[in-house]
A and B are shown apart, each in its own frame.
Chain A
Amino acid sequence: MLPVVRGIIWAVVAFIIGALLTMLVRVAVGLPAWAFGPVFTVGYFFGFTGWLLGVGVWDTWLREYLGMEPRPYKAEGWRRYFGFNTDHKVIGIQYGVTFVIIFLLAGLLAMVMRFELMRPGRDILDFAEYNRIMSLHGFMMILVAVTAVPGMFGNYFVPLMIGAEDMTFPRMNALSYWIWPPAAFLLLLSPFFGGWDTGWTGYPPLAITNEDGQLLYNLAFFTGGLSSVVGSVNFLTTIITMRAPGMTWGRVPIFVWSMFLTSIMTLTATQFVGVAMIMNLLDRIAGTAFFNPIQGGVPLAYQHIFWFYSHPAVYVMILPSLGIMLEVLAHFSRKPLFAYRWAVAGMAGVTALSFTVWAHHMFTSGMSGALHVPFMATTEAISVPTGLIFLSALGTIWQGKMRFKTPMLFAMGMLFNFLIGGLTGVFNSDLPVDMHLHDTFWVVSHFHYTIMGGGIFGLFAGIYYWFPKMTGRMYDERLGRFHFWMMFVFFNLTFLPMAWLGINGMNRRIGDYPPQLGPVNGFVSMMAFFLGASFLIFIYNMVMAWVRGRVAEANPWGVRTLEWATSSPPPEHNFPHVPEVVAGPYDYGVPGGAAHARV
């Protein structure tokens, strides 16, 4: 039996046991047996445990714990991907395919939203439906932005780039992936329980009093957070302890640095959002009153706890993509990464400051007046370390020998988009201006410029850059470039006018707006449809290349880092024997220079 199937069966059985137990206890203490909240929540945690046991935890840790011989998952072909596989490369592809699919589905939801917003008034959705679709779009995209790059490229390439045979804890790595399906399942299930209408931020008191779908959001967010924490421990230990001989910290590729710093944020901040989710859930089902003002709770407390995670989280979304961008810029300019140490310092500075800026999401929230100025200061200070990354990027391409392959186009596009994202962010950090722009389409424009224009463009740079390594096949370069130009042009035409809409009085998260904003919204919607269509080219290119693309050589780009020093795709333990690193990863143009490593 496929472990996935066994996991589903065990999950269903465990869910029923958990639900029945809860109902039994409720009857025993004199409550009506059925209440959705408690019964579903307890059932979920039972089912979640059953799923993990069935999919692989039983075969590995539990059998070992009980003194039996563990049964690691071994399979070939497509079956590899449907079990508790501990090969970091399989896990990278599992993450990649899962989250690209979630990305495309969430993009479809955006198309529905833009269809509704194309004209003033109501067209195809009522407001409740719009809110649910918007919330689902937002949350799915947040999961993609937080997870896709670390999950897919972090898992696949961190061990390869540092010359390791796998991660430090391969089974924990598998666990971090297999935690995700229950979260995804909750999201699919949520529409049947009324969905939820609070956006991805889930602010109480609305999140305490609305439809039951909110509970599924709380559980899904908690579950996803658990996976992030498990994964980040693995990245940190792997990068600290598994570097090949000679791979000093000064020779670690910048993408690995970005994963290292990202993991620090994930490991230390995610707990806060997990706690916020559980507290909100308890307010809902157990009568606690952390955030419920009617019983003396403090709604603003949720926002503080939530953003204490969720602002570092936006740097979790962008740092790994910036790592990819710098990686690609250096290799495709055939020039050393400019000011490498400054770039690392910039990323470290962003990481440190990311914990100090959360309340800039709350300038109009009614929080204490003593907090505004300090948070404006920290927020504007974070532009300085971010600027060092721009220094590195521009210094790298300056006087380089640039090759405009698809990954390079995406990296350059990302640099441009992220510039606009950063500059529009300055307006939001400015207290007076934010009084007007907060919660408007200006913000929608700003965070799409950073998260999509930055993070997702970085994701696509990575997909095109590493596709030959991961699949052993080459995609069609012309289609890749076509995809880039279409995505880049229509991305900008979609999101730049949104900034104008925000200034001119269009608040966010709405299914209707003043009629005078109709023409610009109509334009934005048309552009958004073309942006959506650009992904059809991407899907076609990827599927065709994976099925019958030209076979890729080991190092199709002719670049230096270690992942290209082994076959495409790499063998099970990556390298025939432990590589010895003898020079930097970016030592281009050095006459008679040594290779990065002896493999």
Chain B
Amino acid sequence: MRRDALIVFILWVVTTAIGLVVAGSADIYPPVAAVEAEHIDQAARTLFLLATPVFTFVVVVMLYSIWRFRAKDESEEGPPVYTHQPFAVGWLVVTSALAALLFYNPGYVGWQFLQRDPSGELTVQVTAAQWHWHVTYPEYGLTITSRPIGFERMEENAVLALPAGKRVKFEVTSVDVIHSFWIPALRMKVDAVPGITTTMYATVTETGSFEEDAAFRAQCAELCGTGHPRMNMRVEIMEPEEFEKWVEEQKKMMEMGEMGEGMDDDDDH
């Protein structure tokens, strides 16, 4: 009994050590383009690290028991052990402490960080409609509208540009059903709900574009009907000067009437 417990303890320590190394170093995350995104990835890493000893404990006990505690013949019965009160109390204390810990950090602390500064140097108004994003830059008097044309023709789709280094406030609403505005590279989404305006804040850092990785896209994440998978647009994070240039170009195109409201969808769903 003591020997079994000791072996399991050693196996647990070893597998946990390996697990921690793997969980801490595994690069399973898409590109990061915001301060918040880095924090969210860090929170996920912390959770993987906290989950590791729990996972290895259960699996080690299971595998060891399978190996060691088999019935050798049909009549064999286990010892009549009904409970072990100190162990159960200890279990309760440890699991409660673990739950409290991960509630505090990364949960509460991380949430406070995301909520820290409800302001933006740049406001982006996003209005969702089946199955477009109407993206308005009120400071620039510019509106861009995405088209539900699918990933195979994504290069023809509209671009939502953001200046690197700026704090952006997204004001999101919908004119019809519920949508959800998600940019995977920012690791954040917020629902677009008809009748109310929801907000999302991100301090954008790195430049990047959809051509590099599909995480640079604004994707509808709440089922909104037939065109839902195609309700997306390219996201391009550029240097501030480039962003200014991009705005000028877009405004010119808007005036020339090549883009903007009422254009042909040519969606074929």
Binding site for B on A (CB under 8 A): 120-121, 126-128, 131, 197-199, 203-206, 209-210, 293-294, 298-300, 333-336, 338-342, 364-366, 369, 372-373, 376-377, 380-381, 383-384, 387-388, 390-391, 394-395, 397-404, 412, 415-416, 419-420, 423, 426-427, 429-433, 435-436, 438-440, 500, 503-505, 507-517, 558, 587-590, 593
Contact call B228/A131, Cβ cutoff below 8 A: yes
Q: How far is the CA of A299 from the CA of B81 in the complex (A)?
A: 53
Contact call B152/A121, Cβ cutoff below 8 A: yes
For residue B237, give the distance in angstroms from its CB to the closest CB of chain A.
15
Contact call B99/A395, Cβ cutoff below 8 A: no
Chain B CB count within 10 A is highest, among A209, A399, A587, for: A399
Per-residue CB proximity of B209-239 to A under 8 Å, as 1/0? 0000111010111111111111000000000
Contact call A588/B80, Cβ cutoff below 8 A: yes
Contact call B176/A205, Cβ cutoff below 8 A: yes
Q: How far is the CA of A298 from the CA of B193 in the complex (A)?
A: 10
Contact call A439/B62, Cβ cutoff below 8 A: no
Return chain B residues, CB-CB under 8 Å to A300.
Answer: 193
For residue B232, give the distance in angstroms from its CB to the closest CB of chain A.
9
List 7 A-B pairs, Cβ < 8 Å: A293-B193, A336-B82, A391-B91, A399-B1, A432-B111, A504-B30, A588-B77
Residue of A with least CB distance to B42: A432
Set A373, A423, A507, A515: member contacting B111, Cβ < 8 A: A373
Contact call A398/B190, Cβ cutoff below 8 A: no
Binds A, one of B9-17, B136-144, B158-166, B181-189: B181-189
Return chain A residues, CB-CB under 8 Å to B44.
Answer: 427, 433, 436, 503
Contact call A436/B92, Cβ cutoff below 8 A: no
Contact call B83/A340, Cβ cutoff below 8 A: yes
Contact call A587/B213, Cβ cutoff below 8 A: no
Contact call A334/B152, Cβ cutoff below 8 A: no
Chain B CB count within 10 A is highest, among A121, A127, A435, A516, for: A435
For residue A235, give the distance in angstroms from its CB to the closest CB of chain B.
27
With A380-B99, A432-B39 already in contact, the answer to whether A342 and B224 are too (CB < 8 A) is no
Residue of A with least CB distance to B48: A427
Return chain B residues, CB-CB under 8 Å to A420.
Answer: 55
Having A415-B58, A436-B187, one finds 11 other A-B pairs with CB under 8 Å, namely A198-B223, A336-B81, A342-B92, A366-B191, A373-B108, A381-B99, A395-B87, A432-B39, A432-B106, A432-B110, A507-B220
Return chain B residues, CB-CB under 8 Å to A204.
Answer: 177
Set B47, B107, B114, B194: member contacting A299, Cβ < 8 A: B194
Contact call A342/B71, Cβ cutoff below 8 A: no
For residue B173, give the distance in angstroms from its CB to the closest CB of chain A.
9
User: Interface majority SS on B: helix, strand, loop or mixed?
Assistant: mixed
Return chain B residues, CB-CB under 8 Å to A369.
Answer: 115
For residue A477, give the distance in angstroms from its CB to the closest CB of chain B.
14
Return chain A residues, CB-CB under 8 Å to B106.
Answer: 430, 432-433
Set B54, B107, B177, B187: member contacting A206, Cβ < 8 A: B177
Q: How far is the CA of A78 from the CA of B28 in the complex (A)?
A: 55
User: Which residues in chain B, 77-134, are within 8 Å of chain A measured between CB atoms?
Assistant: 77-84, 87-88, 91-92, 95-96, 98-99, 102-103, 106-108, 110-111, 113-115
Chain A CB count within 10 A is highest, among B83, B114, B196, for: B83
Set B39, B80, B115, B150: member contacting A590, Cβ < 8 A: B80
Q: How far is the CA of A404 from the CA of B84 in the complex (A)?
A: 25
Contact call A340/B40, Cβ cutoff below 8 A: no
For residue A83, give the distance in angstroms from its CB to the closest CB of chain B.
41
Q: How far is the CA of A510 from the CA of B225 in the complex (A)?
A: 10
Contact call B229/A511, Cβ cutoff below 8 A: yes
Return chain B residues, CB-CB under 8 Å to A395.
Answer: 81, 83-84, 87
Contact call B103/A505, Cβ cutoff below 8 A: no
Return chain B residues, CB-CB under 8 Å to A383.
Answer: 95, 98-99
With A209-B177, A333-B78, A423-B51 already in contact, the answer to whether A415 and B71 are too (CB < 8 A) is no
Contact call B103/A377, Cβ cutoff below 8 A: yes
Return chain B residues, CB-CB under 8 Å to A419.
Answer: 54-55, 58-59
For residue A138, give the distance in angstroms from its CB to the closest CB of chain B.
10
Contact call A365/B193, Cβ cutoff below 8 A: yes
Return chain B residues, CB-CB under 8 Å to A199.
Answer: 223
Set B29, B61, B182: member contacting A503, Cβ < 8 A: B29
Return chain A residues, CB-CB under 8 Å to B4.
Answer: 398-399
Chain A CB count within 10 A is highest, among B55, B102, B107, B198, for: B107
Residue of A with least CB distance to B78: A335
What are the 4 A-B residue pairs with the smallest beta carbon separation, nearest first? Answer: A335-B78, A514-B214, A432-B110, A510-B229
Residue of A with least CB distance to B61: A394
Contact call A293/B69, Cβ cutoff below 8 A: no
Contact call A430/B79, Cβ cutoff below 8 A: no
Return chain A residues, CB-CB under 8 Å to B256.
Answer: none
* B6 contacts chain A at the CB level, 8 A cutoff: no
Return chain B residues, CB-CB under 8 Å to A387.
Answer: 91-92, 95
Return chain A residues, CB-CB under 8 Å to B151.
Answer: 120-121, 512-515
Q: How far is the CA of A346 from the CA of B39 in the complex (A)?
A: 34
Chain A CB count within 10 A is highest, among B39, B72, B215, B219, for: B219
Q: How far is the CA of A121 from the CA of B230 in the complex (A)?
A: 11
For residue B182, give the distance in angstroms from its CB to the closest CB of chain A.
7
